[in-house]
Amino acid sequence: MNSRTALVTGASSGIGEATARLLKKQGFSVYAAARRVERMKHLEAEGLHVLSLDIADENSIRTCVKTILARDGRVDILVNNAGYGSYGAVEDVALDEARHQFEVNMFGLARLTQLVLPTMRENRFGKIVNVTSVGGKIYTPFGAWYHATKHALEGWSDALRIEMAPFGVDVIIIEPGGIKTAWGNIAADNLLKTSGSGPYSVAVAKAAGGMATLYNSKRLPHPSVVAATIVKSVRVAKPKTRYHVGYMAGVALAMRKVLSDRMFDRIITSMA
């Protein structure tokens, strides 16, 4: 396993960076990919291969995969981590922004996966790790488009898992809860920008304030806990189909499973 080649997207910070570094420590040949190449110079100094990747651009995706195949001839591990949260009231979010959310969180990921599947299938080995979220199972106000992409990714991953099983390729879903990254503050800022005034302003101010407080608190674990889970999942012969990790992940998923929609609505509304 340690001679395998891994590609990690969204590797310039947070979960992606932590995962790329841990895979490298475990002996993998690691390609760290992100739009902001300048933010990965330290990874390059640590012996990781750094690549430019705009997950919403077809040419960028093709170039990234071609570069790895030309150098190593294979991609054994694909960690689809790149993504962002577009928050705002459904009424306020422009459809162009909604489409971009799907382009980044779903369609770009899907295109990248399509391009690495042939070699995985031919080699009869591969691990595709899709980082979704507990938000792929639950929902929160003002996160409709973000949740839509993560719910879609969950179902897409399940179907892909069945298709690839005969070829020895595993599809693994990682469902993080709250993790100490810049994600929450960025999403909160975007929420205020999109719906901070108008009919939703009071509820938006409360929701954005809650997000900012949580993501600036000490309650959230470091991205390394997710990285450890990802590395564990790709190193075992028969990984689980899903792993959840992070603040409130288990609790949130359990509540969604046992509570009715209306009961869950009330709890989420009281927390937002």
Domains in the chain: ranges and CATH: 5-271 (3.40.50.720)
Residue pair 142/169 in contact by the 8 Å Cβ criterion: no
Q: What is the pLDDT of residue 271?
A: 81
Choosing from 31, 139, 146, 200, the catalytic residue is 146
Q: What value does the mean pLDDT of the chain take?
A: 96
Distance CA 74, CA 117 (A): 10
Calpha distance 36→83 (Å, rounded): 13
Question: How many distinct helices (H) and strands (E) make up the chain?
Answer: 11, 7
Closest CA to 139 of 127, 148, 126, 128: 148
For the question of residue 146 being annotated catalytic, the response is yes
| Model confidence band, residue 270 (pLDDT cutoffs 50, 70, 90) | confident
User: How many CB atoms sit inside 10 A of residue 87's CB?
Assistant: 29
Cα–Cα distances (Å) from 262 to 144, 200, 241, 250, 268, in that order, read: 17, 21, 29, 20, 10
Answer whether residue 2 shows pLDDT above 60.
no
- Residues 175-182 have a mean pLDDT of 95
% of the chain exceeding 90 in pLDDT: 97
Average pLDDT of span 19-33: 97
Per the CB < 8 A criterion, the answer to whether 192 and 142 are in contact is no
Q: What is the mean pLDDT of residues 51-80?
A: 98
Q: What is the pLDDT of residues 131-170, one digit of tens each?
A: 999 999 999 999 999 999 999 999 999 999 999 999 999 9
pLDDT in tens, 78-135: 999 999 999 999 999 999 999 999 999 999 999 999 999 999 999 999 999 999 999 9
227-252 tens-digit pLDDT? 999 999 999 999 999 999 999 999 99
- Helix runs in 104-175, H state only: 108-123, 144-164
**Tens of pLDDT, residues 189-230:** 999 999 999 999 999 999 999 999 999 999 999 999 999 999
- The better pLDDT of the pair 154, 2 is held by 154
Q: What is the DSSP letter of 222?
A: P
pLDDT (mean) for 58-77: 98
Q: Reply yes or no on whether the pLDDT at 1 is more than 60.
A: no
Within 33-143, residue ranges assigned H as helices are 41-45, 58-72, 95-102, 108-123
Provide the CB-side half-sphere exposure for 91 (13 A, CA): 8
Comparing CA positions, the residue from 189, 175, 163, 156 lying closest to residue 233 is 175
pTM exceeding 0.85 = yes
Mean pLDDT of 244-263: 96
| pLDDT tens digit sequence for 34-50 | 999 999 999 999 999 99
The rounded percent of the chain whose pLDDT value lies above 70 is 99
Distances (CA, A) of 62 to 22, 44, 196: 26, 21, 38
